[in-house]
């Protein structure tokens, strides 16, 4: 079954994975053991059809001494597991070390940043487990319950409360201004990267592949991401220098989505994304965005449109929220747009006194 | 407001007063640098590792290694931050772990490999790093060393170097941005 020639030593069926079975096959002569997701489709007849899903995941058997797996979390290689020592629920992410190039650059960055960043609203990396021959690594994070996207789907009524939205927004801003004070731009703030605990409403920001230094911007390329919906226009028009305004923009997009449940600027490609943004915020020209002609000489290709009223696009948001959103997603504004800190301090000082953690 | 009064009384220019240029990030600047200073104090290589930890390697060998790494950095057109981080990683490793003379160059290129993965958009491949040592070390030796170094340092690479602070000092000295690299040459 495994490579044909390797002897399969043990076959256990310890984990049930929703409607499929998780086979855990360990083999002594290979360091990694193999988890197969065997989806079983019940047919009308008695015979069950077994189809082996080729999306197999390798999970190191070295991990089995410390953690037990509960289930696969999503298709991005995340697993939910339980520590055998503390019996706490954790999130596991497995990465294979490249046989030629060694530890991936993104991993080096992520781990070293997570060691440094300690904040209640930033995901914590508990440990890095190495396999004996350094072929695979597993990152152990604290539990990520549910991402904001899922949270909005599963608890639509909770999200209608302005209080919940304020509590969540405040925490996102807290995390973002924390990054900025560490000389980092997160760059990928989006609902999929924000995790929420449904009971306590504690929010954690994740994903540290992109971040770069604010003051020294020689590194990184932001275009590797496929979700453009939360991307600030200055990335889309390929500005070379980024500012902290980039994150504030993304926070604004997430904020609007918390109210309406759909992205504020939905689009599939980079080009359409800019079109969408300009159709709502107005096509920029030298008066509304000084320097735009130089940055984006082809801006004449976009049809001229006037800014729309966000009150109509984001119904149900109170006037103060509209004002805030307007500043967050403004194409060009005074310096205050750049600072998540300003928002997180000025915004909703009463939220702090409502028995919440910050 | 309080701070600007102090600045006026002491006739010191507040270098964070320019809030119009977002790249200078003036609102965060003092916070960023106090965080950097704290990080610097926490993870500083020992100053006496040559005498206490190392027996085989000497100061002059480290000097030769660093000189060579400067050349490698220029050869592959890497950013100066990579070089500074490389030297920091070497010192940090040497303050924790005894290393043989023959392995010093291996440590050097491995630290440069790690630093370039951290800092560069497109880091040179492992093969290129082996090539530049005149194939003294094999790719698998470098990879083994890489995981060794990463584990010893516990993946804590984001440390401020002299270069990090130089930017701020230059600004404090009101250096013109037209001739920024002259000072950097001396470091």
Residue A12 has φ and ψ, to the nearest 5°, of -120, 155
pTM above 0.80, yes or no: no
**From the centroid of its chain, how far is CA A17?**
24
Read off the tokens for A205: 């920001």
Contact residues, chain B, for A103 at CB < 8 Å: 117, 146-147, 150
How far is CA A338 from each of CA A139, A323, B27, B65, B130, rounded to the nearest angstrom?
A: 32, 16, 9, 43, 44
The C-alpha of A238 sits at a distance from chain B's nearest C-alpha, in angstroms, of 16
Task: Find the chain A residues whose C-beta atoms sit closer than 8 A to any C-beta of B.
Answer: 97, 100-105, 108-109, 111-113, 115-116, 128, 130, 134, 180-183, 214-216, 218-221, 241, 243-245, 335, 338-339, 341-342
How far does B118 lie from chain A, in Å, by closest CA? 6
Closest CA to A214 of B35, B29, B179, B41: B29
Residue of B nearest to A115 (CA): B156
Identify which of A77, A55, A204 has the alpha carbon closest to the alpha carbon of residue A138.
A77
Contact B155 A101 (CB under 8 A): no
Query: In the sheet where A125-130 sits, what is the strand order?
Result: A67-74, A78-83, A89-96, A136-142, A125-130
CB pair distance less than 8 Å for A341 and B28 = yes
The two tokens of residue A336 are 């205050």
Contact A215, A183 (CB under 8 A): yes
Residue A260 and residue A315 in contact, taking contact as beta carbons nearer than 8 Å: yes
Q: Residue A79 in contact with residue A58, Cβ under 8 Å?
A: no
Token look-up 């996102």 returns A172
Interchain CB distance below 8 Å, A112 and B156: yes
Residue among A219, A246, A333, A341 with most chain B CBs within 10 A, to mutate: A219
Summarize the confidence of residues A228-241 as an average pLDDT: 78
Nearest 10 degrees: CA dihedral of A336, A220, B73, B170? 0
Q: What is the pLDDT along chain B (187 residues), one digit of tens a residue?
A: 444 555 555 555 566 655 555 555 666 777 888 888 888 888 888 888 888 888 888 889 999 999 999 999 988 988 888 999 999 999 999 998 889 989 999 999 999 999 999 888 888 899 999 999 888 999 989 998 998 898 888 888 878 888 778 777 777 766 555 454 544 544 4
- Residues A230 and A252: their CA atoms lie apart, in Å, by 9
- Spell A257-277 as b/e; 16+ CB within 10 A means b: bbbeeebbbebeeeeebbbbb
> Which positions in chain B touch A182 (Cβ < 8 Å)?
32, 35
Per-residue pLDDT, B23: 54
- Contact between B111 and B139 under an 8 Å Cβ cutoff? The reply is no
H or E element: which one contains A79? strand A78-83
In this complex, which of B126, B150, B164 lies closest to A100 when CB atoms are compared? B126
A306 and A280 Cβ atoms separated by less than 8 Å:
no
Question: How confident is the model over A180-211, as pLDDT tens digits?
Answer: 888 788 888 888 889 998 888 888 988 776 65
Over residues A247-278, the pLDDT tens digits come to 888 888 998 898 888 888 888 888 888 888 88
On whether the CB atoms of residues B28 and A185 are closer than 8 A, the answer is no
């Amino acid at each position: 079954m495994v490579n044909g020639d390797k002897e399969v030593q043990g076959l256990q069926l310890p984990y049930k994975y929703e409607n499929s079975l998780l086979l855990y096959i360990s083999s002594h002569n290979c360091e990694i053991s193999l988890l197969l997701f065997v989806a079983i489709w019940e047919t009308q007849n008695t015979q069950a059809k077994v189809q082996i899903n080729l999306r197999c995941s390798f999970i190191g058997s070295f991990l089995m001494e410390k953690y037990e797996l509960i289930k696969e979390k999503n298709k991005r290689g995340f697993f939910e597991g339980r520590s055998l020592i503390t019996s706490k629920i954790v999130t596991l992410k497995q990465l294979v070390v490249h046989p030629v190039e060694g530890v991936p650059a993104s991993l080096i960055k992520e781990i070293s940043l997570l060691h440094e960043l300690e904040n209640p609203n930033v995901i914590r990396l508990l440990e890095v487990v190495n396999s004996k021959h350094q072929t695979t690594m597993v990152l152990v994070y604290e539990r990520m319950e549910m991402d904001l996207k899922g949270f909005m789907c599963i608890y639509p009524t909770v999200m209608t409360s302005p209080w919940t939205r304020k509590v969540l927004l405040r925490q996102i801003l807290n995390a973002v201004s924390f990054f900025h004070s560490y000389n980092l731009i997160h760059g990928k703030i989006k609902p999929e990267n924000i995790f929420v605990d449904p009971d306590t409403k504690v929010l954690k920001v994740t994903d540290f592949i992109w971040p770069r230094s604010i003051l020294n911007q020689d590194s990184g390329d932001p275009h590797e991401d496929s979700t453009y919906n939360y991307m600030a226009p200055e990335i889309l028009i390929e500005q070379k220098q980024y500012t902290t305004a980039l994150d504030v923009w993304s926070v604004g997009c997430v904020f609007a989505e918390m109210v309406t449940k759909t992205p504020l600027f939905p689009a599939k490609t980079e080009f359409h994304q800019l079109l969408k943004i300009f159709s709502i915020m107005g096509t920029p020209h030298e008066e509304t965005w000084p320097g735009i002609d130089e940055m984006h000489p082809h801006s004449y290709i976009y049809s001229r449109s006037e800014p729309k009223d966000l009150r109509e696009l984001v119904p149900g948001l109170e006037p103060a929220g509209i004002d805030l959103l307007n500043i967050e997603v403004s194409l060009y504004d005074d310096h205050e747009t750049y600072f998540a800190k300003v928002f997180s301090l000025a915004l909703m000082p009463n939220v702090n006194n409502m028995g919440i953690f910050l | 407001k309080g701070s600007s009064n102090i600045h006026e009384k002491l006739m010191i220019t507040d270098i964070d007063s320019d809030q119009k240029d977002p790249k200078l990030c003036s609102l965060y600047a003092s916070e960023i640098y106090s965080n950097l200073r704290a990080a610097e104090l926490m993870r500083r290589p020992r100053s006496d590792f040559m005498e206490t930890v190392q027996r085989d390697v000497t100061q002059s060998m480290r000097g030769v290694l660093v000189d060579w790494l400067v050349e490698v950095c220029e050869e592959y057109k890497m950013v100066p931050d990579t070089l500074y981080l490389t030297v920091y990683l070497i010192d940090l490793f040497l303050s924790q772990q005894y290393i043989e003379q023959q392995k010093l160059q291996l440590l050097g290129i491995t630290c440069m490999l790690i630093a370039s993965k951290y800092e560069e958009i497109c880091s040179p491949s492992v093969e290129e790093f082996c090539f530049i040592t005149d194939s003294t070390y094999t790719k698998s030796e470098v990879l083994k060393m890489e995981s060794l170094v990463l584990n010893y340092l516990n993946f804590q690479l984001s440390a401020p170097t002299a270069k990090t602070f130089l930017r701020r000092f230059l600004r404090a000295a009101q250096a013109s941005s037209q001739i920024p690299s002259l000072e950097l040459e001396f470091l």
